[in-house]
Amino acid sequence: MSDYPVWINGVPEGFLPVSDRGLAYGDGLFETVRVSSGKPTLADYHWRRLLRSCEQLGIVLDIERLLEEVDAFLFDNQVGAAVLKVIITRGSGGRGYSPEDCLSPRRILSLHPLPSRSRDPGLHGARVKLCRMRLGRSVLAGLKHLNRLEQVLASGEWRGGAYDEGLLCDVEGNLIEGTMSNLFIVTHDGGLVTPDLSFSGVAGVCRDFIIEFARHRGIAVSEQRVSPDLEGSEIFLCNSVNGVWPVIEYEGREWGVGSLTAQIRDCVLEELNA
């Protein structure tokens, strides 16, 4: 049994059938949601992405049923602040790739403590390295599907606290994302650039929130190819659990925590602690 709370299809359960296609083929999706005061944060962004991704994969998800289970799961476990992981698999099926007979998706909910660090990269800044691992091009770019082997291998390129995060390029050498985060560059004229994720990477929920936040305030945001040289006046990373991490060190270069990065960090933090 798991040492943390787990529900499968609305029932407390700690075992998964070996026939589950998420285990066999990575055939599914997941959301990692920060919980504050017992409620999922950035919830609309998470559920919209999950539903959109399920539709793209042809997984029929009863979103209303899932949301009822999430509410009951959090209430049952008297959650204050935590990390909620939501996994949707295509369910169980026989041997072979064809999903033809898989008509019952599996909904897996689990709770985990918030990350604990002796040094907070959100406050003090993140030390970042360029990973050797390259991301492949895929028609599934943008989706947070269950196959995350590239990120697993990239995360193994350093040990201990030497770095807070690693950045990944695609096979053509364009900078795409961190192992667990999206990347933003503050340009010298005060705009934002974030890598184009048309062919590689995960379109993160916090990334979407920041793009929307910036555009509503008249800040230009461009999604484009980004060189690993990282030219910009400020650099920051984001995800929906950790919020915004200003980058202060990368491949022998240094930045301070800039004013726009700090503004966006504080806004995201307020949203994640609401």
Query: Is 231 annotated in the active site?
Result: no
Is residue 32 annotated as part of the catalytic site, yes or no?
Answer: yes
pLDDT the model gives residue 59: 96
- The one catalytic residue among 31, 32, 179, 234: 32
**Is the per-residue pLDDT at 172 higher than 90?**
yes
In this predicted structure, the answer to whether residue 195 has a pLDDT above a threshold of 60 is: yes
Domain over 6-112 is classified CATH 3.90.1660.10: no
Confidence of residue 94 (pLDDT cuts 50, 70, 90): confident
Tell me which of 31, 69, 165, 177 is the catalytic residue.
177
Instruction: Say whether 179 is catalytic.
Output: no
Phi-psi region of 70 (alpha: psi -120 to 50; beta: other; left: phi over 0): alpha
Q: What is the pLDDT of residue 2?
A: 61
Q: 101 falls in which pLDDT band (50, 70, 90)?
A: confident
217-233 pLDDT tens trace:
999 999 999 999 999 99
The catalytically annotated residue of 144, 179, 194, 261 is 144
Question: Read out DSSP for 16-79?
Answer: --TTBHHHHH--EEEEEEEEETTEETTHHHHHHHHHHHHHHHT----HHHHHHHHHHHHHHTT-
Q: What is the mean pLDDT of residues 112-133?
A: 95
Is residue 231 within 8 Å of residue 187, measured between CB atoms?
no
**CATH dotted code for 121-272:** 3.20.10.10
Task: Give me the mean pLDDT over the 63-73 stretch.
Answer: 97
User: Within a 13 Å sphere around the CA of 225, how many CA atoms are in the beta-carbon half?
Assistant: 6
pTM, entire model: 0.95
The structural domains of the chain, with segments of one domain joined by +, span 6-112, 121-272
